[in-house]
């Protein structure tokens, strides 16, 4: 698959809604030649070529990129980053968007992340870190509830328990050390529970320059009213109307200081830094970092990004982000996640999906595939817990939200589940978080 001389072939790693959103945005660029997605999903088939490749095997990824002549590798999920895929790709002389293994520890180890924040003086929750259950239990009894109990390593977004009672906190500690999250739970971080609205601010960075993106706010709980277990995300909107200019300035300062600290410590961080913030009465504090684009945040940021994504990612990979300014569309974006019945618990796969074409025929609606596949009969079917992200743009928050839900009604599959209150609280203003 050859491309014109003024384009570059690109390899994108991942299979979720985030990757479909990134793939679609990359494919829009006149700089994009062949686009390979490994392994991709039922939606990425429309914008590139899905390839069978172990995304967590550094040597295999580097070999594929070299053999196909790729001029850029983009790493979507966290696991390949923690595995050192970016290091292997760069060692092969290929530009890569995504931090090396050392930088990925900002997400891969909550203890590492908290210690770096402490060294940089970055505001975050007070915490304790433990490698044995008895010490952790003693700390919980001493602190009391509420607290937040986190498995130190990667646990697919499910290793965090907001414990409102002492018993819940003790049970969460026991669950971690009992092997519920594998090696990720061998170290446990226990934090004070911060209060206030949550806000996400992502940034492009080349390890020196930081270019913040637009604000967004995810809805992590499975059920309406922010109840039920945590999920990978049930819906999201951008921008966040309740953020004050002062809070936004402080969040940007924190992301800049984080990259400056990483630089001081010799950590090469080229890619996307995800800042998860709590807007506390004392100002924004970091809840967590991710070392990559968020999912579903990407699904509202990419439609609003007016800049050429290939150009921006190459500038990050080649350490010349200072040459690039980001441009954003003025519209609001709201994305609602359609999930399989039972998610985030057990769910069935293989349910035939209909109505996506009808939804996308609506102006300003995009449907990103997350957990989809094509079966032997050529039908699009469910293959994951989070199945689709239905994203709409609008001139107002209300217009974008109404359009997203109207588009959701067009789509059907057996067991389709969704939250109907995405963005409702923010429409009521800041005081809604005091209720």
pLDDT tens figures, 5-38: 689 999 999 999 999 999 999 999 999 999 999 9
Q: Which residues of 135-145 are buried (b: 16+ CB within 10 A; e: fewer)?
A: ebbebbeebeb
Q: What is the pLDDT of residue 409?
A: 98
Location of each CATH 3.30.470.20 domain in the chain: 198-428
Location of each CATH 3.40.50.20 domain in the chain: 8-100
Strand-pair category, 332-339 with 380-382: unpaired
Q: Which 3 state secondary structure label does DSSP give 211?
A: strand
287 closest CA partner among 208, 421, 212, 189: 189
Location of each CATH 3.30.1490.20 domain in the chain: 132-186
Name the band, by pLDDT with cuts 50, 70 and 90, for residue 162.
confident
pLDDT in tens, 267-313: 999 999 999 999 999 999 999 999 999 999 999 999 999 999 999 99
Cβ neighbour number for residue 275 with a 10 Å cutoff:
23
Strand-pair category, 210-218 with 198-205: antiparallel
Section 129-152 average pLDDT = 88
Distance separating alpha carbons of residues 411 and 128, to the nearest angstrom:
46
- Tell me: domain 132-186, CATH 2.40.110.10, correct? no
Residues 6+ apart with CB under 8 A from 19: 12, 13, 37, 40, 41, 44, 76, 77
pLDDT in tens, 369-379: 999 999 999 99
Q: Is the pLDDT of residue 258 over 50?
A: yes
- Tell me: domain 8-100, CATH 3.90.1300.10, correct? no
β-strand partners of 222: none
35 closest CA partner among 53, 56, 51, 59: 51
State how far the alpha carbon of 141 is from the alpha carbons of 135, 159, 189, 195, 396, in Å: 10, 20, 14, 21, 47
Q: What is the pLDDT of residue 4?
A: 44
Highest-scoring range by mean pLDDT, 6-20, 130-144, 169-183: 6-20
Class of domain 198-428: alpha beta
For residues 35, 36, 40, 42, the Cα torsion angle rounded to the nearest 10 degrees is: 60
pLDDT cut 90: percent of the chain above it: 79
């Amino acid at each position: 698959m050859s491309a014109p001389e003024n384009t570059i072939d690109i390899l994108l790693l991942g299979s979720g809604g985030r990757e479909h959103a990134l793939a679609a945005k990359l494919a829009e660029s006149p700089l994009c030649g062949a686009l390979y997605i490994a392994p991709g999903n039922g939606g990425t088939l429309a914008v590139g070529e899905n390839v069978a490749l172990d995304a967590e095997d550094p040597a295999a990824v580097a070999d594929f990129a070299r053999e196909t002549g790729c001029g850029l590798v983009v790493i979507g999920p966290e696991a390949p980053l923690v595995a050192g895929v970016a290091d292997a790709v760069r060692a092969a002389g290929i530009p890569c968007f995504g931090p090396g293994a050392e930088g990925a520890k900002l997400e891969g180890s909550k203890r590492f992340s908290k210690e770096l924040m402490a060294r940089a003086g970055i505001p975050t929750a007070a915490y304790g870190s433990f490698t044995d259950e008895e010490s952790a239990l003693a700390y919980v009894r001493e602190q009391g509830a509420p607290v937040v109990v986190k498995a130190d390593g990667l646990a697919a977004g499910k290793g965090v328990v907001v414990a409102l009672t002492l018993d819940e906190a003790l049970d969460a500690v026991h669950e971690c050390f009992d092997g519920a999250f594998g090696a990720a739970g061998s170290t446990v971080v226990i934090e004070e529970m911060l209060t206030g609205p949550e806000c996400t601010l992502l940034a492009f960075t080349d390890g020196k320059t930081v270019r913040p993106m637009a604000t967004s706010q995810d809805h992590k709980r499975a059920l309406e009213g922010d109840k039920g277990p945590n999920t990978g995300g049930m819906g999201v909107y951008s921008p966040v109307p309740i953020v004050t200019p002062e809070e936004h300035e402080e969040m940007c300062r924190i992301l800049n200081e984080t990259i400056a600290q990483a630089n001081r410590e010799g950590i090469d961080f080229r890619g996307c830094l995800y800042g998860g913030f709590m807007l506390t009465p004392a100002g924004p504090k970091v809840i967590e970092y991710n070392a990559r684009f968020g999912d579903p945040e990407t699904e509202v940021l990419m439609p609003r990004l007016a800049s050429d994504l290939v150009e921006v990612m190459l500038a990050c990979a080649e350490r010349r982000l200072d040459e690039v300014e980001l441009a954003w569309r003025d519209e609001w974006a709201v994305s609602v996640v359609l999930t399989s019945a039972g998610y985030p618990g057990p769910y069935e796969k293989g349910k035939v999906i209909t109505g996506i074409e009808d939804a996308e025929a609506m102006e300003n609606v995009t449907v990103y595939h997350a957990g989809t596949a094509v079966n032997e009969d050529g039908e699009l079917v469910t293959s994951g817990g989070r199945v689709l992200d239905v994203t709409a743009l609008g001139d107002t928050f209300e217009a974008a939200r109404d359009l997203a839900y109207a588009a959701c009604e067009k789509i059907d599959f057996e067991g389709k589940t969704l939250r109907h209150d995405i963005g409702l609280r923010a429409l009521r203003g800041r005081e809604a978080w005091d209720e």
